[in-house]
Amino acid sequence: MFLCFMPDQFFTYKQLIEFTETVFKRIGCSSEDATTAAHALISADLRGIDSHGVARLSGYVRLWEAKRVNATPQIKVIHESASTAVVDGDGGLGLVVAPHAMHIAIEKAKQAGTGWVSVQNSNHFGIAGYHAMIALQYEMIGMAMTNASPLVAPTFSLDRMLGTNPICVAVPAGEEPPFVADLATTTAANGKLEILQRKKQKAPIGWIQDKNGEPSTDPHELKNGGALLPLGSDKEHGSHKGYALGAVVDIFSALLSGANYAPWVPPFPAYVPMPSEQPGKGVGHFLGAMRIDAFRSANDFKKHIDHWIRGFRNAKPVVSENRVLIPGDIEREMQVQRLKDGIPVIEPVVNDLEQLAKKLKVVFP
């Protein structure tokens, strides 16, 4: 590689989408599913959440190789009411199952005002934001949550009992861009530890505990029996609230659907053995859609949400360089920039993707 002295190599959005589609088709996905999965996965790179994008592509392939992902799932509704459904993802990619479930939620919301879909027997779904934001084009509020393999110790716990269990709420606006809050229910997402590992930097106190439950600054701590901490960091700063929010995500995603939960959620890395106990099926998600005009006229709503957003933008900042942001601002600005300038991919990921291309006999851009 000529550019091995450069920290990052740049790819266009189209290049990454096409490569990802090709890879997913190569493992047996239908053309339609490969397109859906590629858009869900690469939306993370586009929005600047590099840990959840193309960097994980070979991880999904390894799950398929380990027969933990079904490339040709028959996704089915197994229970429903006017505003709810439970979806069996048939072991498919979460990147395919979750958008499918979100569209069911949207159809329910068209009829009943809101739609709520809990999903069992799925896999990791990329970023919650992608799925929640599907609702925006229908003048609906979108919500997406997922559980994940256990990395988080609840308040007072030595054991890891929850995943980073993200919540996304996407709210349409009028003239202003949408409000998109997409957050792991931990103080810091695991992706932030990966960045520190690469930069050989320490983590702030409050992100992780070591295997004895003591505060730690070592970003490698999770490999040594440590754990991520719930949003709030410690009891005095409200970690019981972050723990409760992560627990709610687990309950909505898995207890309502019949997926695995708590420490028994299947791991993303295919080399990690499956948990000894499996109280449900696969990974669980929860998707929701609320039609704005099931509450009030969409025009009235848009007028007021624009006023709300401008009120926050105009709040007086503590330091003038750091203006008050609306949730979703940073990711949206990143998307504009990366569509224009390309998406930087770090060298280890480029190498990994080249190996993947070689293994699957596909062309790497």
C-alpha distances in angstroms, 283 versus 91, 99, 165, 260? 9, 15, 11, 6
- Residue 312 binds a copy of itself, judged by CB under 8 A: yes
- Residue 83 binds a copy of itself, judged by CB under 8 A: yes
For 195, residues 6+ apart whose C-beta sits below 8 A from its C-beta are 51
Rounded CA separation 246/251 (Å):
9
- Residue 294 binds a copy of itself, judged by CB under 8 A: yes
Residue of 292, 320, 332 whose CA lies nearest to 176: 332
Q: How many CB atoms lie within 10 A of CB 280?
A: 17
Tell me the window of 31-39, 94-102, 321-329, 343-351 that interacts with a copy of itself (CB under 8 A): 321-329
Comparing CB distances to a copy of itself, the nearer of 289 and 350 is 289
Residues in 92-131 at the binding interface with a copy of itself, rule: CB under 8 A: 111-114, 116, 118
Q: What interhelical angle do 13-26 and 31-46 show, nearest 10?
A: 140
Query: Of 301, 338, 349, 350, which one interacts with a copy of itself (CB under 8 A)?
Result: 301
Residues in 148-167 at the binding interface with a copy of itself, rule: CB under 8 A: 154-159, 161
- Residue 242 binds a copy of itself, judged by CB under 8 A: yes
Query: Of 140, 257, 350, 352, which one interacts with a copy of itself (CB under 8 A)?
Result: 257
Q: How far is the CB of 329 from a copy of itself (least distance, A)?
A: 10
For 322, residues 6+ apart whose C-beta sits below 8 A from its C-beta are none
Comparing CB distances to a copy of itself, the nearer of 62 and 237 is 237
- Residue 199 binds a copy of itself, judged by CB under 8 A: no
For 174, residues 6+ apart whose C-beta sits below 8 A from its C-beta are 299, 302, 303, 305, 306
3-state secondary structure of 100: helix
Residues in 170-189 at the binding interface with a copy of itself, rule: CB under 8 A: 171, 179, 181, 183-188
Rounded CA separation 72/54 (Å):
21
Tell me the window of 98-106, 194-202, 216-224, 310-318 that interacts with a copy of itself (CB under 8 A): 310-318
- As given in the structure block, the two tokens for residue 5 are 């002295």
Residues in 208-237 at the binding interface with a copy of itself, rule: CB under 8 A: 209, 212-213, 231-233, 236-237
- Residue 247 binds a copy of itself, judged by CB under 8 A: yes
Query: Of 28, 225, 269, 311, which one interacts with a copy of itself (CB under 8 A)?
Result: 311
Q: How far is the CB of 50 from a copy of itself (least distance, A)?
A: 18
Residue 45 contacts residue 99 (beta carbons within 8 Å): no
